[in-house]
A = this chain, B = another copy of it.
């Protein structure tokens, strides 16, 4: 999205956990949202979800998100949808209710608007059944918490899903277009299979909710968070390949490993058993505490996946690339040595320590990133590194002046104090949103030959860019 694009207007009909999650993501990604829900508690509930999103989502990125959009609670569907280009339906899973709402939406909305249902249970053809403009209605099925989990399953008329996908990408999400409509789309079919199996294991007293959760999170859950199922099995098959793996593993399908035929009856007894086991497993935490733990873990794990640019980490890196140009200028060649904005971001929850503030080591991480931006702007970028040259830090001195907290906005301004031969001397200043200086840093780097791992003078284009830098008076005098 360029600054000249007219901003998409979003509307959300239904303000529960899913609707609220959508609202939070739209807002925090910089878009205006109008909400309709007849429940008088909606505003309170949605604001709670937004609070959760504010403490977790911005920390996923190395750059600042755009300013939050505005949120308006409307008293009619018409008011909410009339100017929207994307209308999100997140009401209860009752088809007659959905028909009523779709009819009212289509009476008031633009012909070009996308009407995106969050349904997990209904196919587009079912949702469209009574509509005069069925192609407008698609499924955009998200996953809780919507403000953090990237996946959205898109199902419906290709013309509409093709228009919808890039909008989801702008929201930092991963649109997965489901090419043939099918009950429960893709992910919920998989989830449903596991859920049923889990219910049987509890019903038959084989395992408790905690034991089942442990079997997942200490085991294959760790694999699935990054590679899914097939890519992991490909590895298990080894050099002999996937076909070999299936031939080995395949026969097990015929073994009586699952309760294929039956669905356990959800008797009061079974429901109570599950509820009690769940209380014993997690009851010492409130739902809000569990949400925070879950979100902090998601932030930490998704950030961890950035290093290998893999799965959700690849998604985040792509978003970083589109965010960085809106604040920092990594692609622009540096022309002067005076302070320039190099970091503009939020403190992630995963950076806190026992003292409840940003750990000292992450100050170094922030300054290190600031240097990376300067290096890119003087021509020492990925291509230059691929040619076998780079800069190594030889000295870093940080003065810690003020604490930083999770969710706090921090900016770094970096100046080149000295650029002479192979030596590069940077001065960083980190400020919070109030303009208070939180830390300063002096960093000395040396230009190196990556093959010999020894220092050497910089090559072109770095040498010329450094030579051409305008030196402001205050740096000369300092």
Q: Which chain A residues have a beta carbon within 8 Å of chain B's beta carbons? A: 17, 120-121, 143-144, 149-151, 153, 174, 176, 178-180, 182-184, 186-199, 201, 204-207, 209-232, 234-236, 238-239, 241-243, 246-247, 249-250, 252-258, 260-261, 263-264, 266, 271-272, 274-275, 277-279, 281-282, 287, 290-291, 293-294, 296-298, 300-305, 307-308, 310-312, 315, 350, 352, 354-356, 359-365, 367-368, 382, 385, 390, 392-400, 403, 450, 453
Contacts and interface: CB of A to CB of B under 8 A. Distances in A.
Contact of A395 (B231, B311, B390, B400): B400
Contact of A274 (B179, B238, B246, B294): B246
| A-B complex: 10 closest residue pairs judged by Cβ atoms | A213-B228, A151-B219, A364-B364, A225-B225, A221-B224, A300-B304, A209-B230, A193-B193, A361-B365, A216-B228
A397 B397 contact: yes
Contacts of A266: 246-247, 250, 253
A254 B296 CA distance: 35
Contacts of A216: 187, 190, 224, 228-229
Contacts of A238: 17, 287
Nearest to A216: B228
Contacts of A150: 218-219
B201 A189 contact: yes
Q: Which of A234, A315, A363 has the most B CB atoms < 10 Å from its CB?
A: A234
Nearest to A270: B246
Contacts of A174: 214, 218
Contact of A180 (B205, B223, B228): B205
Contact of A301 (B304, B367, B396): B304
Q: Which of A174, A216, A258, A298 has the most B CB atoms < 10 Å from its CB?
A: A216
Contact of A235 (B149, B190, B253, B294): B294
Contacts of A215: 151, 153, 176, 186-187, 190, 228
A149 B218 contact: yes
Given A206-B182, A304-B297, A304-B304, A385 B230 contact: no
28 contacts: A17-B238, A149-B222, A150-B218, A150-B219, A151-B215, A190-B215, A192-B252, A193-B193, A193-B197, A194-B194, A209-B231, A213-B228, A217-B227, A218-B312, A223-B294, A227-B294, A230-B278, A234-B278, A243-B274, A253-B264, A254-B263, A355-B450, A360-B396, A361-B361, A361-B364, A392-B400, A393-B400, A395-B397
Contacts of A232: 144, 294
A234 B149 contact: no
Q: Which of A221, A235, A305 has the most B CB atoms < 10 Å from its CB?
A: A221
A52 B170 CA distance: 38
B271 A183 contact: no
Nearest to A184: B257
A272 B241 CA distance: 11
A5 to B, nearest CB: 25
A242 B278 contact: yes
Contacts of A224: 216-217, 221, 224-225
Given A226-B301, A231-B290, A300-B305, 8 more contacts: A121-B252, A151-B214, A153-B215, A196-B258, A225-B225, A226-B298, A246-B271, A361-B365
Contacts of A352: 307
Contacts of A153: 215
A385 B357 CA distance: 13
Contacts of A247: 266, 271
Contacts of A189: 197, 201, 257-258
A364 B360 contact: yes
B360 A229 contact: no
Q: Which of A352, A362, A364, A450 has the most B CB atoms < 10 Å from its CB?
A: A364
Contacts of A355: 385, 390, 392, 450
A180 B277 CA distance: 17
A304 B186 contact: no
